[in-house]
Structure 1
Amino acid sequence: MSFDNICKYLATEYPAAFVRWLLNYDANDIQILPTELKLDPIRADTLILLQTNNQILHLEFQTLPTSVPSLPLRMLDYWVRLHRQYDRPIEQVVIFLKQTNSPLAYVEQFSSANTQHRYRVVRLWELDPTPLLSNPGLLPFAVLAQTNSPSSLLQQIAERVNRIESVPIQGNITTCIELLARLRFDQNLIHQFLRVNAMRESPLYQEIIEEGLQQGEQRIVFRLLTRQIGEIPPEVRSQIQQLPIPQIEELSEALLDFSQLEDLSAWLRSHS
């Protein structure tokens, strides 16, 4: 599970915490919207619909400021699609995770000829960690906030984690903290403060392990299929990526009998 997927998990599990942090008010009537946008679909990170004021909070999480197309153009593209699809006020916030001196991390608008589009940018390394320590859903971001003493910051975060009464939630939050902390701190320092056992027993950690195993199996199968029948079309690759691990293992044996793409397509149809 990538860093941005961890952030998406936190935003969808704790949307009210993000609204309080970024918009500075409490919202109870919240809905998580589908992140795939129509018209040659692209996928936003997190879309939170605030029913109370009929507003959408659009969050994008970035480790690096460079992207193709550029981030400002993507934010404009997202806004146009969201406006067309939902026709309501949209607040866009880009959250940069990893500290950088790149000027691109300080760009807060798209500008071209007569077109200008503004959005908010949050650079975590510039923030006071105190507000992020107040809610379990924001705790993982505190490891990336401003500090002159990494040990003191990690100690504070560990103390807040230990106050979480639910064992599964504590494990999930510990997992998120540990993974995001890798963007900044040495793993040995992290493990001085975080309970690794709590992380490894958490449902989220098990899901990450499962996802890693699945991706590893997929890479092997794709290499074998390419050798056996040639290049795999994108739509067929997408079907294979949806298979659970047991079916991927079945495919890794069945593909030895394939001689053409139709053999693979027939196998996928019979296992759909």
Structure 2
Amino acid sequence: MAYDNTCKYLAETYPEEFAKWLLSTDTSNIQVLKTELNLEPIRADSVTFLQTSNQILHIEFQTQPQSTPPLDFRMLSYYVILKKQYGCDIEQVIVFLQPSNSEMVFKTEYVDKNTRHKYRVIRLWEEDSAPLLNNPALLPLAALAKSNSPESLLQQVANAVDMIEESEEQKNISACTQILAGLRFDRSLINQLFREEIMQESVIYQDIIQRGEQRGKKQEALQLITRLLTRRISNLNSEIQQRINALSTTQLEDLGEALLDFTSQNDLTSWLDNNS
């Protein structure tokens, strides 16, 4: 998830650069949409929505093609809800970060009996590195682009990062580059070319560490609550387990107190209906 969240950070910090790259258009009137689309059970921290003057750019970053529900269906779901909510043109792009032979990375549409929905796919390992190297906001992605000599490409990226004049921007771009480079290169090579202390001082690195700690706390709480519920009201069916998995850490803590009064699965279902 750190890889996807890194790309999301970049797209939301540099929306104009990403719109220019993916839409081939220059515009300064771009808004990052922080919108709740109520797409349960669709959850994706890697989703970014950029609204230009006449359309929405929906970007989804993925390291792995596996997803529940499948990515092609997710793109259709997002499209329908965005269209209903905003009523404008929508350009959808999935950016795959890591090479894969999965059929999903080559699919560009969702097809059902009565429905066909198209979207764009970028396989980053097939992309020309030059446009990415020429834009500081896209340097982290350049490390994953097409190259006959990946190590030389990473050196070029490192040199370009060193040329960034603004100190805070350099720290954050360096951190993002080092994180994404981990998908392709050994950590020893990355450490040779980049200063680790710059990464640790960056905003994005600290944010990822914090997110990791939060996910760790939630996972611990989830495991404990599941064990307690199983002992108290027997096995949980898959639907109930999914609803519990979707709870926040605070909600799990509240459930831990409430379950002491449960005598049946109906009590749990009622609590979820009132608190989810």
8 Å Cα contact 1:57/1:90 also seen in 2: yes
Which letter does structure 2 place at the counterpart of 1:195? R
The equivalent residue for 2:49 is: 47
C-alpha spacing 1:108/1:167, structure 2 compared with 1 (3 Å): same
The equivalent residue for 2:157 is: 157
8 Å Cα contact 1:161/1:170 also seen in 2: yes
Q: CA deviation at 1:40?
A: 5.0
The equivalent residue for 2:249 is: 240
Give the TM-score, by structure 2 length. 0.80
Equivalences for 1:11-22 in 2 at 5 Å? 11-22=11-22
C-alpha spacing 1:222/1:117, structure 2 compared with 1 (3 Å): closer
- Separation of aligned partners in 2, 1:219 and 1:136: 36
- Structure 2: gaps of 5 or more residues: 232-239, 263-276
Q: CA deviation at 1:135?
A: 1.8
- Separation of aligned partners in 2, 1:138 and 1:241: 36
Give the TM-score, by structure 1 length. 0.81
3-state SS in 2 of match to 1:95 = strand
- Separation of aligned partners in 1, 2:13 and 2:96: 20
3-state SS in 1 of match to 2:93 = strand
3-state SS in 2 of match to 1:238 = coil
The equivalent residue for 1:168 is: 168
8 Å Cα contact 2:174/2:199 also seen in 1: yes
- Separation of aligned partners in 1, 2:62 and 2:217: 27
The equivalent residue for 2:202 is: 202
The equivalent residue for 2:72 is: 72
3-state SS in 2 of match to 1:68 = coil
Which letter does structure 2 place at the counterpart of 1:50? T
Structure 1 stretch displaced more, 228-237 or 79-88: 228-237
8 Å Cα contact 2:42/2:74 also seen in 1: no
8 Å Cα contact 1:229/1:258 also seen in 2: no
- Separation of aligned partners in 2, 1:82 and 1:135: 29
C-alpha spacing 1:152/1:241, structure 2 compared with 1 (3 Å): farther
C-alpha spacing 1:237/1:92, structure 2 compared with 1 (3 Å): closer
The equivalent residue for 1:268 is: none
Structure 1 stretch displaced more, 220-229 or 152-161: 220-229
Q: CA deviation at 1:141?
A: 0.5
3-state SS in 2 of match to 1:175 = helix
Equivalences for 1:1-272 in 2 at 5 Å? 2-38=2-38, 40=40, 42-43=42-43, 45-51=47-53, 54-225=54-225, 234=243, 238-240=247-249, 260=260
- Structure 1: gaps of 5 or more residues: 263-272
Which letter does structure 2 place at the counterpart of 1:46? T
The equivalent residue for 1:267 is: none
C-alpha spacing 1:17/1:242, structure 2 compared with 1 (3 Å): farther
